């Protein structure tokens, strides 16, 4: 397909409505690609998101930020890649990606790094980029493993986790779902991250509160209480196919009370049992080179098994390699 069929432009705030409407209609996107989510940390990144048009209608977007002569799948997002419409077929996807690389090359951007959306989030087959990256001689630079439960084929929860569930019942723990993030952030999450990792949550309390206001059906908080004291909780990002655990934390009594076992048995077996997948996220450290064994084991005891998320780097000048695919 002639790349002149497509035009590529940088996103600007005046394109917000076009961007959001297109993202909502695609086959490989989630609410994280909506501009109200992407822009909450706009001050931290030099946004260089792209929109691709055909006959003045958007056919693809690329959430991205620039650093010198590199373009990244937006580094403030868990995943990314080229977002394609539901009607996009392989030949058109090839033309779109070729046009993107050609545009970036003309902008003196030499390298494009993509962290692909895990396939469990796709609403229909959307592996065009896997093939096109192969043709473009992209380099696989990182692989993370995500711990995911296939809700239709889930193994039984291990007996050691069920012992924790029994402790939770015995201790009269209560789970509250809502939009009250402050107790969890201030009393559990921030102190634990500071003590164990000398770190802060990716989202500040103010940011997660605002995001939950913008996406009330997608960002959910579950707090666990012993009497009136919060003892643990989890923040869930809920998408069409997947319930993703964004934050997990509990106080020092978690083993004695069974806090997290009690909470996650409920989330997996009751609250999100109708989802296709329950995604605990990654246990990787050191840019994918290591796995936190204890954390991985805990997730797998609930029935989670591994899927991969891949990161690629491609030279933008390689758009020429895509021009002779079809014979």
Question: What residue has token string 């059906």?
Answer: 217
Confidence class for position 1, pLDDT limits 50, 70, 90: low
For residue 71, the model assigns a pLDDT of 98
Q: How far apart are CA 314 and CA 131, in angstroms?
A: 13
Confidence class for position 43, pLDDT limits 50, 70, 90: confident
Write the secondary structure of the chain as one string of H (helix), E (strand) and C (coil).
Answer: CCHHHEEEEECCHHHHHHHHHHHCCECCCCHHHCHHHHHHHHHHCCECCEEEEECCEEEEEECEEEECCEEEECCCCCCECCEEECCCCHHHHHHHHHHHHHHHHHCCCCEEEEEECCHHHCCCCCCHHHHHHHHCCCEEEEEEEEEEEECCCCCCCCHHHHHHHHHHHHCCCEEEEECCCHHHHHHHHHHHHHHHHCCCCCCCHHHHHHHHHHCCCCEEEEEEEECCEEEEEEEEEECCCEEEEEEEEECCCHHHHCHHHHHHHHHHHHHCCCCCEEEEEECEECCCCEECHHHHHHHHHCCCEEEEEEEEEEEHHHHHHHHHCCC
Q: Is the pLDDT of residue 241 over 60?
A: yes
Q: Taking residues 299-304, what's their average pLDDT? A: 98
Q: How far apart are CA 158 and CA 17, in angstroms?
A: 47
Q: Is the pLDDT of residue 255 over 90?
A: no
Token pair listed for 128: 């065009």
Q: Is the pLDDT of residue 57 over 60?
A: yes
User: What is the assigned CATH class of domain 3-143+311-324?
Assistant: alpha beta
Show me where the domains of the chain are located.
3-143+311-324, 153-275
- Sign of CA pseudo-dihedral 260, 265, 270, 275: positive
Q: Is the pLDDT of residue 3 over 80?
A: no
For residue 187, the model assigns a pLDDT of 97
Domains 3-143+311-324 and 153-275 share a fold: yes
For residue 242, the model assigns a pLDDT of 98
pTM: 0.94
Q: How far apart are CA 96 and CA 294, in angstroms?
A: 43
Q: How many residues does the chain have?
A: 327
Region 153-275: CATH code? 3.40.630.30
Closest to 311 in 3D by CA, of 75, 13, 106, 31:
75
pLDDT tens-digit map of 95-153:
999 999 999 999 999 999 999 999 999 999 999 999 999 999 999 999 999 999 999 99
Q: Is the pLDDT of residue 207 over 60?
A: yes
53-57, 214-218, 252-256, range with greatest mean pLDDT: 214-218
Q: Taking residues 210-220, what's their average pLDDT? A: 97
Q: Is the pLDDT of residue 295 over 60?
A: yes
Q: How far apart are CA 83 and CA 26, in angstroms?
A: 7
User: Rounded mean pLDDT of the chain?
Assistant: 96
For residue 169, the model assigns a pLDDT of 98
57-60 long-range contacts (CB < 8 A, ≥24 apart) are: 58/18, 58/19, 58/22, 58/85, 59/6, 59/84, 59/85, 59/88, 59/92, 59/96, 60/84, 60/85, 60/88, 60/93, 60/96, 60/100
pLDDT tens-digit map of 152-171:
999 999 999 999 999 999 99
Token pair listed for 72: 């990244």
Q: Taking residues 57-66, what's their average pLDDT? A: 97
For residue 2, the model assigns a pLDDT of 60
For residue 197, the model assigns a pLDDT of 85
Residue 269, φ and ψ in degrees, nearest 5 = -90, -15
What distance separates the 2 farthest-apart alpha carbons in the chain?
A: 69
Alpha-carbon 123 to chain mean position: 15
- Residues of the chain with pLDDT > 70, as a percent, come to 99
For residue 206, the model assigns a pLDDT of 96
For residue 229, the model assigns a pLDDT of 96
Question: What residue has token string 């931290």?
Answer: 44
């Amino acid at each position: 397909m002639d790349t002149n069929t497509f035009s590529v432009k940088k996103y600007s705030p005046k394109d917000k409505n076009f961007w959001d409407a297109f993202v909502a209609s695609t086959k490989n996107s989630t609410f994280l690609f909506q501009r109200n989510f992407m822009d909450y940390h706009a001050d931290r990144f030099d946004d260089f998101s792209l929109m691709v048009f055909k006959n003045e209608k958007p056919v693809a977007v690329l959430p991205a930020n620039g650093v010198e002569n590199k373009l990244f799948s937006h580094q403030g997002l868990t995943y990314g890649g080229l977002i394609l419409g539901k009607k996009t077929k392989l030949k058109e996807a090839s033309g779109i990606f070729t046009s993107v690389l050609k545009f970036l090359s003309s902008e003196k951007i030499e390298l494009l790094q993509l962290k692909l959306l895990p396939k469990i989030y796709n609403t229909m087959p959307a592996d065009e980029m896997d093939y096109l990256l192969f043709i473009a001689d992209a380099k696989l630079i990182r692989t993370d493993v995500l711990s995911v439960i296939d809700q239709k084929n889930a193994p039984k929860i291990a007996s050691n986790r069920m012992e924790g569930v029994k402790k939770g019942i015995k201790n009269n723990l209560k789970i509250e779902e809502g939009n009250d993030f402050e107790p969890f952030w201030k009393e559990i999450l921030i102190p634990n991250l500071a003590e164990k990792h000398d770190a802060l949550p990716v989202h500040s309390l103010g940011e997660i509160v605002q995001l939950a206001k913008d996406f009330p059906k997608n960002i959910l908080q579950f707090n666990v209480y012993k009497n009136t004291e919060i003892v643990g909780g989890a923040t869930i990002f809920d998408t069409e196919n997947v319930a993703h655990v964004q934050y997990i934390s509990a106080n020092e009594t978690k083993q004695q009370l069974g806090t997290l076992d009690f909470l996650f048995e409920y989330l997996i077996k009751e609250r999100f049992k109708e989802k296709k997948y329950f995604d605990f996220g990654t246990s990787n450290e050191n840019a994918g080179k290591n796995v936190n064994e204890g954390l991985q084991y805990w997730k797998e005891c609930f029935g989670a098994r591994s899927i991969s998320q891949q990161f690629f780097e491609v030279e933008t000048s390689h758009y020429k390699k895509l021009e002779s695919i079809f014979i």
